[in-house]
Amino acid sequence: MNIRWYHLALWTAFIVGMFFLPQLVSKGTLRTIIFANYLAIFAISWDVLSGRTGYVSFGHPFLIGLGAYTTAILTKRFDVPVEISIPAAVLVTMVGGSLLFLPALRVRGSYFALVTLAFMELMYQLVQVIRPDLTGGTRGMSGIQTLTRGAVNGYYLSFGLIASLGFGMWLLMKTRLGTALSAIGMNEEAVRGSGLNTTKLKLAAFMLSAFVAGLGGAFYVHYLGSIAPRALFDINFVFTIIVAAILGGASTIIGPIFGAFFLTFLLEYLRPYLPGAERYFIYGGIALVLYMFEPKGLHHVLQMALSAIKGKSRS
Amino acid sequence: MTSLLTVSNLVKKFGGLTATNDVSFTVEKGDSLALIGPNGAGKTTIFSQIMGEVRQTSGTIHLAGRDIGGMSTAARIRHGISRTYQVPRPFSDMTVLENIRVGLMPDNLTQMVFGRVDHDREEALALSVGLAPQDLHRSPSELSMGDLRKLEMARTMATNPNVMLLDEVFAGLTVGEIAQISELIQSMRREGMTFLIVSHDLKALEPLVDRAIAINQGQKIAEGSFSEVMDNEAVVASYLGG
Ligand SMILES: Nc1ncnc2c1ncn2[C@@H]1O[C@H](COP(=O)(O)OP(=O)(O)O)[C@@H](O)[C@H]1O
Ligand SMILES: [Mg+2]
């Protein structure tokens, strides 16, 4: 493992800063940050799979939706306690992740991305058609049990999740497993040629991604108290997740967290000027420019700035 | 005694094209065999079938008496066979050492996560193929073609093979680099490594092998000592016509 002191210092600063945040900002800002936290979780989930292995998912709401719907239906329709419904939601999402994995055995690149998009569309259709008495059909569900009261508690819950999932995934990706997953993204055949079973590795990536997406989706629905399928299974939501992940810097964990915060606040500040979906074009454009000129993302820009400062102070 | 590598009646068809046409040969332990033939003869395709990256249409492949013809690539590598590629394709966003690390990884998720990285072995492998200490933390894009081939050798050796298949080992190298790679192969031969080598540079290839087989249009057209094969009329004709 290649862990340096400043990595841990950064994590500590992040966690300490986030811990005291509610004392510093308004309730409204706090709600924005809660959204950023969940977006960061979804971006990490996407990044562990797509940022590393190069199997780009356009269907992540399929996984997030499985987690969200499972716990929502179990708690609301069957009075199952959340202690059981949330783990069940994560399990169901991981089963969904193994379904998403099947096409990855045969296709990659844009074909794979399209198949995942089809998964999302299919699920959107299914929740409307199959047992709308359970799923709420086109209108979705409301009155779902919430776990916390008020912005501050909601914030701490989301922060606990992003801190533990983010740090956990970061540690895991620092091991040789993370190296192997990245290697698949660079040259899958050479990974096989190094004696590694890439099917097993890819399955692990899908399972990790589904675990994070399912957990995030389940907690998010218990924060919102409602599900709106049209907003969930929306290509704009997909792009928000992907842009957050690559904007911050794919394959870094800390990058998607940066990206999610940057994007959420950008979106929030643009809201008064551009109330409609045009906002998405704006950040799509920003992401494109950044991606063209600095494909390694904001994270990398900061890193370069840091080493530039270090270089200056040395000379 | 069984041979280390035995290829029998190998056939590979790509649609209407027969890329490998009933090829058989054996490689004994400690032997070094040249596989020669003009461009498009089917040499790389034979390597890919031995490694399981391309599945043969028919025929068998045995490694130390064990039928490996149906195994996954990873399983074949575990049984002690490994190859380099004609065009080195390193993991581009990793350092030289990290590239070798992938070759050294056990095919076991738990060990990958909890096992320790053997930095000493990574470094020893890199240095043993002739990479310089200052190259170890460089990215592959900063390496010369010769160094890329050395890295390819190191990543292949990291899987701990008994037989190595080297595809176009000298392509794109300077005279000095050819000498370095040749010296590396010679020293590995002295330590008992078994080789199957493809190269267009016949002069550089000759001292590295005990025997040769020639392939043309997917078929074996000659076999014997290197000079016998080179003097064979069909071989000469295939190169002229090739
Ligand atoms: N995956 C493939 N699909 C179709 N044809 C192929 C494939 N791989 C190789 N070939 C064909 O098989 C023949 C042998 O190719 P190859 O083994 O690369 O030759 P060599 O390595 O001797 O130059 C060529 O005609 C090549 O076009
Ligand atoms: Mg070839």
Asked whether the predicted pLDDT for residue A186 surpasses 70, the reply is yes
How many CB atoms sit inside 10 A of residue A200's CB?
Answer: 13
Average pLDDT, chain A: 88
What is the C-alpha separation between A163 and B150, in angstroms, rounded? Answer: 42
State the ligand closest to the CA atom of B85.
2
**Is the pLDDT score of A189 beyond 60?**
yes
Q: What pLDDT is attached to residue A283?
A: 66
pLDDT at B223: 95
Which ligand 1 atom lies nearest to the CA of residue B45?
Answer: 17
> Whose CA is closest to atom 25 on ligand 1?
B40
Determine which of A89-103, A112-126, A273-287, B12-26 has the lowest per-residue pLDDT on average. Answer: A273-287
Distance, in angstroms, between B229 CA and closest chain A CA? 31
Is a pLDDT exceeding 90 seen at residue A145? yes
| A187 vs A297, more confident | A187
Which chain A positions have a beta carbon within 8 Å of B51's beta carbon? Answer: 193
pLDDT band at A315 (very low <50, low <70, confident <90, very high): very low
The encoded tokens of residue B229 equal: 């094969």
Is the confidence at residue A267, as pLDDT, over 90? no
Q: Side-chain half-sphere of B206: how many Cα atoms within 13 Å?
A: 7
What is the best residue among B14, B43, B216, B235 to mutate for testing ligand 1's pocket, by most ligand atoms within 8 Å of CB?
B14
Q: What is the pLDDT along chain B (242 residues), one digit of tens a residue?
A: 589 999 999 999 999 999 999 999 999 999 999 999 999 999 999 999 999 999 999 999 999 999 999 999 999 999 999 999 999 989 999 999 999 999 999 999 999 999 999 999 999 999 999 999 999 999 999 999 999 999 999 999 999 999 999 999 999 999 999 999 999 999 999 999 999 999 999 999 999 999 999 999 999 999 999 999 999 989 888 887 65
Of residues A284 and A259, the one with the higher pLDDT is A259
Tokens of A260: 């999610």
Question: Which pLDDT belongs to residue A298?
Answer: 63
Is the Cβ of A190 closer than 8 Å to some Cβ of chain B?
yes
With tokens 């409602």, the residue in question is A226
Of A81, A214, A187, nearest in space to B99 by CA:
A187
| Contact between residue A54 and residue A108 where contact means Cβ atoms under 8 Å apart | yes
Touching check for A191 and chain B: CB below 8 Å? yes
Whether pLDDT at A215 is above 60: yes
Point out the ligand 1 atom lying closest to the alpha carbon of residue B198: 21
Residue A45 pLDDT more than 90? yes
Q: Whose CA is nearest to atom 18 of ligand 1?
A: B44
- What ipTM does the predicted assembly reach? 0.90
Cβ <8 Å between A193 and B85: yes
Does A105 lie at the interface with B, CB-CB under 8 angstroms? no
What residue has token string 């709308």?
A: A132
- Candidate from B92, B101, B113 with C-beta closest to A186: B92
Give the mean model confidence (pLDDT) for residues A255-267. Answer: 87
What residues does ligand 1 touch, defined as CB less than 6 Å away?
A: B 14, 17, 19, 37, 39-45
- Residue B176 CA, distance from chain mean position: 21
- Residue A291 confidence (pLDDT): 63
Distance from Cα A270 to the centre of ligand 1, integer Å? 55
Interchain CB distance below 8 Å, B102 and A196? yes
Q: How far is B24 from chain A (nearest CA, A)?
A: 23
Q: Is the pLDDT of residue A195 over 90?
A: yes
**Cross-chain Cβ contact A190/B91 below 8 Å:** yes
- Structural domain spans, chain A: 5-234
Over residues A123-142, the mean pLDDT reads 92
d(CA A205, CA B224): 49
pLDDT digits (tens, 9 = 90+) for A60-111: 999 999 999 999 999 999 999 999 999 999 999 999 999 999 999 888 888 8
The reply to whether B110 touches chain A by the CB within 8 Å rule is no
Q: Which residue has the higher pLDDT, A191 or A282?
A: A191
Q: Compute how many other C-beta atoms are within 10 angstroms of the C-beta atom of residue A280.
A: 18
Q: Please give the C-alpha separations between residue A48 and each of A173, A311, B126, B172, in angstroms, as whole numbers.
A: 8, 32, 29, 37
A contact residues 159-178, partner B, Cβ 8 Å cutoff: 172, 175-177
- For ligand 1, atom 12, the nearest C-alpha belongs to B19
Give the mean pLDDT of A253-281.
81
For the CA of B54, the closest atom of ligand 1 is 1
Q: Is the dihedral of CA B33, B39, B42, B44 positive or negative?
A: positive
Local confidence band at A314 (pLDDT 50, 70, 90 cut-offs): very low
Q: Is A16 helix (H, G, I), strand (E, B) or coil?
A: helix
